[in-house]
Structure 1
Amino acid sequence: MEDIVKISLLYDFYGPLLTEKQREYFELYYFNDLSLNEIAQNYNVSRQGVFDNIHRSLEFLKQCEEKLGLVEKFLSQKKALERIKLQLEGILPHLDEYSGEILKKAIEALDKLVKEGWE
């Protein structure tokens, strides 16, 4: 099984491009932990139909990432921000009180970006 974090990121970035039915099945399977049989029973469709829908949806999300690379760019930028934050924290002890306070605020802003993303 693929890493659920990677699947979640793909869905966060490209999920709105799926049809409503694809999003429903995808969310139920990956995020609400329903089985293929449970989804099939709830929607009165075959298990194979649910499987095909979810499989096609995931493949579509992967194709979007291959073409656009937004998840990869996001993760790369997040790592870069984390490195910058660490470098700034290393400078902090060498500053006077006033400059240190300004830098602390900048570090807090960076930390917020890293933790919350660009929502």
Structure 2
Amino acid sequence: MEDIVKLSLLYDFYGALLTEKQREYFELHYFNDLSLNEIAQHFNVTRQGVFDIIHRSLEFLKQCEEKLGLVERYLKQKKVLERIKSQLEEIRPYINSEGSGILERAIRDLEKLVKEGWE
């Protein structure tokens, strides 16, 4: 179905817009790998009810992305940052000792942005 990384990003960006029940079912199914039956038994509801909530939640997250495009923008920016980091690493041999500290700090800052996002 959906790539778990893409689902995680959709949830990270838009999950706060879901109801508490939607978030709980979504997390249990996609992130804790519980089956629909297991979730239904835990909450004493029908499997179909769990399916409907998870399905509607996923569709809502996709609609948010279609309208706002935050995940796509984030992935594009991440790719650009990775390319800039690579280019900086390529010029490393041409930098004198004075400039190497600045270059290393810039590369570390880019690595942090790529790994941790814009926090």
TM-score by length of 2: 0.98
Task: Tell me the distance in 2 between the aligned counterparts of 1:76 and 1:40.
Answer: 38
Q: What are the equivalent positions in structure 2 for 1:37-116 lying under 5 Å apart?
A: 37-116=37-116
SS at match of 1:45: coil
SS at match of 1:92: helix
Q: Which amino acid aligns with 1:97?
A: S
TM-aligned CA deviation for residue 101 of structure 1 = 1.3
SS at match of 2:98: helix
TM-aligned CA deviation for residue 113 of structure 1 = 0.6
Number of positions where the alignment pairs a residue of Structure 1 with one of Structure 2: 119
TM-score by length of 1: 0.98
Please name the residue that 2:26 is paired with: 26
Q: Which amino acid aligns with 2:3?
A: D
Q: Percent identity?
A: 77
Q: Which amino acid aligns with 2:32?
A: N
Task: Tell me the distance in 2 between the aligned counterparts of 1:107 and 1:23.
Answer: 36
CA RMSD of aligned residues (A): 0.6
TM-aligned CA deviation for residue 90 of structure 1 = 0.8
Task: Tell me the distance in 2 between the aligned counterparts of 1:98 and 1:89.
Answer: 16
Q: Which amino acid aligns with 2:17?
A: L
Task: Tell me the distance in 1 between the aligned counterparts of 2:104 and 2:51.
Answer: 50
Task: Tell me the distance in 1 between the aligned counterparts of 2:54 and 2:48.
Answer: 10
18-27 or 97-106, which deviates more: 97-106
SS at match of 1:118: coil
Which aligned segments of 4 or more residues in structure 1 are displaced greater than 4 angstroms? Answer: none
TM-aligned CA deviation for residue 9 of structure 1 = 0.4
